[in-house]
Amino acid sequence: MLGRLARRAGLAAFLTIFALFVVGPLVWLALRAFSGTWQYPHLLPDTWTLKWWTQVLDSADLGSSIRLSLVFAPVVTIVSAIICLPAAYAFARYEFPGRRFLLVALFATNAFPKIGLFLSMAGVFYSLRLMGTFLGVVIVQLLGTLVFMTWLPAAAFSSVPRSLEEAARDAGARPWRVFARVTFPLAAPGILVAMILSFLASFDEAQGTFLVGAPNYVTMPSTMYELVVNYPGQVAAVFSVLLAIPSVLLIALVRKHVMSGRLAEGFQLR
Amino acid sequence: MSESSAAATPDGGLVLRGLGKTLGGRSIVDGLDLTVAKGELVCLLGPSGCGKTTTLRMVAGFVEPDHGEILIDGRPVTTLPPERRPTAMVFQNYALWPHMTVFGNVAFGLKLRKLSKKEVRDRVGAALELVGLSHHIDSRPAHISGGEQQRVALARALVLEPQVLLLDEPLSNLDAKLRVRVRDEIREIQQRIGITTVLVTHDQDEALSVADRIAVMNTGRIEQLDTPSGLYDEPRTRFVAGFVGTMNFLPGQADGANVRVGGATVPCDELSALADSTRVFGVRPENVVIGSEGAPARVVREVPRGHFREVILTIDGADTDTPVRSYIPVGTPPVSGEVRVRFARAHGYPDESAAAVEAPAPVTSGV
Amino acid sequence: MTRAHRLRALVMASPPVLVAAAFIGMPVVSAVMFTLGYSGGFNSILADIGQHEHLVTGAGGTLGAYRDVLGDPLFRQSLWATVLVTAAATAVVLVLSWGIALYLRLAGGRIGKILAGLAVVPMFIPVVIASYAILEFYSPNGFLRSLFAALGWSNAPVYGYTMVGVTFGQIWVSLPFGVLMMTSGLNAVPDALLEAARDAGATPARAVRAVLVPMAKVPTTITATFTAIGVIGSYTVPYLIGPSAPNMLGPLMTDTFESFNQPQQAEVMAVAIFLISAVIGAFYVRANLRGAKEGKSK
């Protein structure tokens, strides 16, 4: 009896601390975005205000960086899809020399730390005259999406039973039609997750964009670094809330698919 | 433990008393009573959803009954967790651990009981020899066939020398020919060791071949608990009549020593299970006798069935669409056209709507 | 498959590989060359702007830059800090992921769903924001100190701008992937296998140890390696939450380039991180190949 009570109490304590650990910082930040004066050690702001919001939304710089982020992310996602989806299909359905090696190599590109990479990449970009260009930023953000757009859709394509495709061909459909009417629709949830994760990867990409894009193209995350240093904390807080909104919305959309438990299959090497 | 329960439970037996379980608002098992004698093999037979697997899992300890009790060898085990019950189960999909060899799988329970290495090896060896798999002792489950995996599961259960052996649809994943051979092997081993066994299946053929007694279950209750021949010869409810063996069902009423079906009157040698509420008659095909006397009927078709012939006929005047089937031995001359039929034996059952569940229709082939 | 088919498949699979080879592979190679002293080609601009460089002309590289970096106490401190934070964060993420996944698997219910739901929240938030939020949360007038002050302890520790805070941040950011991976991995083990263990006499804890742990080896390895690789090369979390020095290697690298104007030495650090990541990644590849081999024999 005591054992059970102790277990429940322990569970409750863990749950509380865990909830604080995870959600606490976000709530704290959100509060700051609306706070006027806030003395230590009060747990809530003393006065509330919306002035920081007007300040941010009125600022031309901040506004343009929001717009830019919303332009780059879809562009990068689409380019990534065009480049990677055919490859994902090939990885899933065909056996060819070097298949496994290439899959791992793609993943390995994430292993080299971004900062070190960007220094050298700057060299390449300078030579190709890509520094400070729209294309340059697209390429930089694209690199962060390659793994998502190949591995996850490859797993999605693999999970479509071949027998369904064979039945379609048996009924007279040509390969392209089979793909469009059978394979793609069934793999669509996995591909959607990949696209959303790519969108967010591009949206959140800060270091590379800052390196390549500045001063012509400054996106929201790059601005964030500057904000933290140069503006009052509340402005950074407002910006943070704004920056978080697309993420929350998008992932809420695909939450079911991501949490459906198929993720592990996507990251296993076959 | 009271006097009466000690007297009621034979040594080493299994007793289920008033067992009940409700899941998701539905009553899966409803007031179930069953006594299995030591060394007896009782089958729980029924369609899917009848509660047989849930009952088995309650005995094993994986499902907690809402009410009722379970006694093994006179000892109540209802509140014991599965690891402390003297039961061992053979799972439907065998549940062999893929990361262990056959030896590892069978030895697992023994190692938990802290036996010496030599003792473990000896007992595993004996169990594998019992099921004829000594040559696979170091193989991995993924590398042996389905039938062999099933035997490993059996060895794993038996090596623990349980008081009750539980089998959950052990043959359903094997192909048809293998099924007959394996079920005989299981029965042979069970009788040799003399272990109290409960076997769950939906295949009445399987139940009729291996069981000492069969409990036919329907919507959480036992409709009839009897020996195989008892069930076949004297099915007590319409459900059991339709589930075990093949049966013709004709709506009608008793008329003296005859069965009146619509406008036809069929003479009957033996009428059983009669009551005032009798509205349906069940007649086994082998009891539909085609001969020189009886009600007029017309042959629709004759179907050769191997070691017997099936004759499909309609009885004149009987206002029912369902044809009547009759089995006749291979040697008899062919029948056609107008004939006369009588029933050697018929069982009466109350109105069809009184049956809780529609029994599955008799097997049709080539009709 | 015919040779023509195989070739076509290879061509189909090539675009992302080519992009990666061009914009990651090439810079990586040229970075490594740069660390060894080659200043031509893509490295020429970096070679021009940098200081304290060890350059060569012609063949035969130099390890001068490596000597500089490995001999630098600041680098060694930072390396040590990086290893510690990575090990600590990975360990905590593993424990939390296993714990939550196990609870969800065995007990389930509303509490399980709440735990799993909470654990996935960080996935919704960009790393930049998360780092800033965590910094503020543990700062001198952040939530932690305010809460303890309200409870009577006015001198609670400050974790902002400390390595402890950085570790918290790394855990926070890495948790969703770990939890998703472990829940998916544990769910892949059928109930019957656990039941069979209990039927044979194992307690629930023993059944977990004997059945779940071995069968979840691959997801566990994936969680550990992905988390470790992510933490080792990270920049944003340590930059925003950590102290100016000694910090993790990511910020140190950037500092070395931006403040000290030593791109060559910065690249040496990048190579060091890459080598460590590669070793960790090798574990992942090995675990996968072994897992695939066991699965193939079915």
Same domain, B254 and B301: yes
Q: What pLDDT score does C58 carry?
A: 63
Q: Which residue has the higher pLDDT, A239 or C138?
A: C138
Residue B61: how many other CB atoms lie within 10 Å: 22
Contact of chains C and A by CB distance (3 or more pairs under 8 angstroms): yes
Spell out, as residue ranges, where chain B has pLDDT lower than 50: 1-10, 354-367
Q: Which residues of C touch B143 (CB under 8 A)?
A: 297
**Domain range A50-266, CATH architecture:** Orthogonal Bundle (1.10)
Residues 204-243 of A with CB under 8 A from C: 204, 206-207, 221, 224-225, 228, 233, 236-237, 240, 243
The answer to whether B83 contacts C297, with C-beta atoms less than 8 Å apart, is no
Residue C114: how many other CB atoms lie within 10 Å: 13
Last residue of a domain, which of B233, B262, B290?
B233
Q: Which residues of B touch C291 (CB under 8 A)?
A: none
Same domain, B160 and B74: yes
Within an 8 Å CB–CB cutoff, is residue A245 touching chain C?
A: no
Q: Is residue B364 part of a domain?
A: no
Q: State which residues form the domain around B111.
A: 3-233
C101: pLDDT confidence band, cut at 50, 70 and 90? very high
The answer to whether C297 contacts B60, with C-beta atoms less than 8 Å apart, is no
Within an 8 Å CB–CB cutoff, is residue A112 touching chain C?
A: yes
The answer to whether A264 contacts C267, with C-beta atoms less than 8 Å apart, is no
Residue B137: how many other CB atoms lie within 10 Å: 18
Count Cα neighbours of C276 within 13 Å in the Cβ-side half-sphere. 20
Within an 8 Å CB–CB cutoff, is residue A200 touching chain C?
A: yes
Residue closest to B252 by CA, chosen among B356, B351, B169: B351
The pair of three-digit structure tokens given for residue A48, joined into one six-digit string:
């509330």
The secondary structure of chain C in percent helix, strand, coil, rounded to multiples of 5, reads: 80, 0, 20
Residue C117 has pLDDT above 80, yes or no: yes
Q: What pLDDT score does B114 carry?
A: 87
Same domain, B222 and B347: no
The pair of three-digit structure tokens given for residue C202, joined into one six-digit string:
């194992």
Same domain, B133 and B15: yes
Within an 8 Å CB–CB cutoff, is residue A15 touching chain C?
A: yes
Q: CA B41, CA B155: separation in Å to the nearest integer? A: 17
Out of C192, C198, C294, closest to residue B93 by CB: C192
Same domain, B181 and B324: no
Q: What are phi and psi of B7, to 5 degrees?
A: -70, -35
Residue C70 has pLDDT above 80, yes or no: yes
Name chain C's partners: 3 or more CB pairs within 8 A.
Answer: A, B
Q: What pLDDT score does A120 carry?
A: 76
Within an 8 Å CB–CB cutoff, is residue C172 touching chain A?
A: yes
Cβ distance C102 to C111 under 8 Å?
no
Q: What pLDDT score does B352 carry?
A: 60
Q: What pLDDT score does B354 carry?
A: 44
Residue B68: how many other CB atoms lie within 10 Å: 17
**C297 to chain B: nearest residue by CA?**
B142
Q: What pLDDT score does A256 carry?
A: 67
Angle A50-A52-A57 from CA coordinates, rounded to 5° = 100
What CATH code is carried by the domain that includes residue B33? 3.40.50.300
- The type of residue at B126 is A
How many pairs of residues across B and C have Cβ atoms under 8 Å apart? Answer: 69
The answer to whether B83 contacts C201, with C-beta atoms less than 8 Å apart, is yes
Q: Which residue has the higher pLDDT, A134 or C289?
A: A134
Last residue of a domain, which of B211, B233, B255?
B233
The answer to whether C193 contacts B99, with C-beta atoms less than 8 Å apart, is no
CA distance A179 to chain C (A): 15
Same domain, B44 and B119: yes
**pLDDT, tens digit, 9 for 90 and up, residues C10-33:** 888 889 989 988 888 888 888 888
Q: What 3 state SS string does chain A have?
A: CHHHHHHHHHHHHHHHHHHHHHHHHHHHHHHHHCECCCCCCCCCCCCECCHHHHHHHHCHHHHHHHHHHHHHHHHHHHHHHHHHHHHHHHHHHCCCCCHHHHHHHHHHCCCCCHHHHHHHHHHHHHHCCCCCCHHHHHHHHHHCCHHHHHHHHHHHHHCCCHHHHHHHHHCCCCHHHHHHHHHHHHHHHHHHHHHHHHHHHHHHCCHHHHHHHCCCCCCHHHHHHHHHHHCCHHHHHHHHHHHHHHHHHHHHHHHHHHCCCCHHHHCCCC
Q: Is residue B122 part of a domain?
A: yes
Q: Which residues of A touch C292 (CB under 8 A)?
A: 268-270
Q: What pLDDT score does B215 carry?
A: 96
Give the length of chain C: 298
Last residue of a domain, which of B186, B207, B233?
B233
Q: Is residue B367 part of a domain?
A: no
Within an 8 Å CB–CB cutoff, is residue C14 touching chain A?
A: yes
Out of C190, C202, C214, closest to residue B99 by CB: C214
How many structural domains comprise chain B? 2
Same domain, B177 and B100: yes
Task: For helices A60-93 and A134-143, give the axis angle rounded to 10 degrees.
Answer: 50
Contact of chains A and B by CB distance (3 or more pairs under 8 angstroms): no
The answer to whether C126 contacts A200, with C-beta atoms less than 8 Å apart, is yes
Residues contacting A1, CB < 8 A, separation 6+: none
The answer to whether C128 contacts A270, with C-beta atoms less than 8 Å apart, is no
**C295 to chain A: nearest residue by CA?**
A270
Q: What pLDDT score does A263 carry?
A: 59
Same domain, B271 and B294: yes
Q: What is the DSSP string of B183-234?
A: HHHHHHHHHHHT-EEEEEES-HHHHHHH-SEEEEEETTEEEEEE-HHHHHH-
Q: Which residues of B touch C206 (CB under 8 A)?
A: 112
Residues 68-107 of B with CB under 8 A from C: 81-84, 87-89, 91-93, 95-99
The answer to whether C200 contacts B109, with C-beta atoms less than 8 Å apart, is yes
DSSP, res C244: S
Q: CA B282, CA B247: separation in Å to the nearest integer? A: 6
Residue closest to C12 by CA, chosen among A148, A89, A100, A146: A89
The answer to whether C270 contacts A113, with C-beta atoms less than 8 Å apart, is yes
Selected for mutation to probe chain C from B53, B64, B89, B92 (highest C CB count within 10 Å) is B89
- Give the residue extent of every domain in chain C: 23-62, 74-296
Out of B92, B99, B112, closest to residue C201 by CB: B112
Q: What pLDDT score does C12 carry?
A: 86
Please report, in tens digits, the pLDDT of each residue of chain A (270 residues total): 778 889 889 999 999 999 999 999 999 998 888 888 887 777 788 888 888 888 877 777 777 887 888 899 999 999 999 999 999 998 888 888 888 888 878 877 776 777 777 777 877 887 788 888 899 999 999 998 998 899 889 888 988 888 888 888 888 888 888 888 888 988 888 888 889 888 888 888 887 887 787 778 888 887 877 777 777 778 888 888 887 887 788 777 766 666 555 555 566 655
Q: Is residue B359 part of a domain?
A: no
Residue C294 has pLDDT above 70, yes or no: no
Same domain, B269 and B315: yes
- The type of residue at C209 is R
Q: Is residue B242 part of a domain?
A: no
Q: Is residue B12 part of a domain?
A: yes
**pLDDT, tens digit, 9 for 90 and up, residues A164-221:** 888 888 888 888 888 888 889 888 888 888 898 888 888 888 878 877 877 788 888 8
Q: What pLDDT score does B16 carry?
A: 95
Q: Which of A120-134, B37-51, C62-76, C137-151 has the highest mean pLDDT?
A: B37-51
DSSP, res B277: T
Give the length of chain B: 367
Same domain, B73 and B41: yes
Residue closest to B58 by CA, chosen among B13, B17, B92: B17
What CATH code is carried by the domain that includes residue B287? 2.40.50.140
- The type of residue at A266 is G
CA distance A112 to chain C (A): 5
Q: What pLDDT score does C43 carry?
A: 72
CA distances from B56 to B11, B64, B129, B165, B209 (A): 20, 11, 27, 10, 20
**C215 to chain B: nearest residue by CA?**
B99
The answer to whether C136 contacts A224, with C-beta atoms less than 8 Å apart, is no
Out of B87, B112, B142, closest to residue C298 by CB: B142
Name chain B's partners: 3 or more CB pairs within 8 A.
Answer: C
CA distance C218 to chain B (A): 13
Within an 8 Å CB–CB cutoff, is residue C256 touching chain A?
A: no
Phi-psi region of A37 (alpha: psi -120 to 50; beta: other; left: phi over 0): beta
Within an 8 Å CB–CB cutoff, is residue C290 touching chain B?
A: no
Q: Which residues of B touch C193 (CB under 8 A)?
A: 95, 97
- The type of residue at A115 is I
Residues contacting C271, CB < 8 A, separation 6+: A116, C31, C32, C35
Within an 8 Å CB–CB cutoff, is residue C242 touching chain A?
A: no
Q: Which of B241-255, C54-68, C99-113, C196-210 has the highest mean pLDDT?
A: C196-210
The answer to whether C236 contacts A91, with C-beta atoms less than 8 Å apart, is no
Out of B88, B97, B113, closest to residue C199 by CB: B88
Q: Which residues of A touch C133 (CB under 8 A)?
A: 25-26, 28-29, 240
**C128 to chain A: nearest residue by CA?**
A221
Residue C174 has pLDDT above 80, yes or no: yes
The answer to whether B82 contacts C198, with C-beta atoms less than 8 Å apart, is yes
Q: Which fold has domain C74-296?
A: MetI-like fold (1.10.3720)
For residues B193-212, one letter each, b for 16 or more C-beta atoms within 10 angstroms of the residue's C-beta and e for the rest, the string is eebbbbbbbbebebbbebbb
Same domain, B256 and B227: no
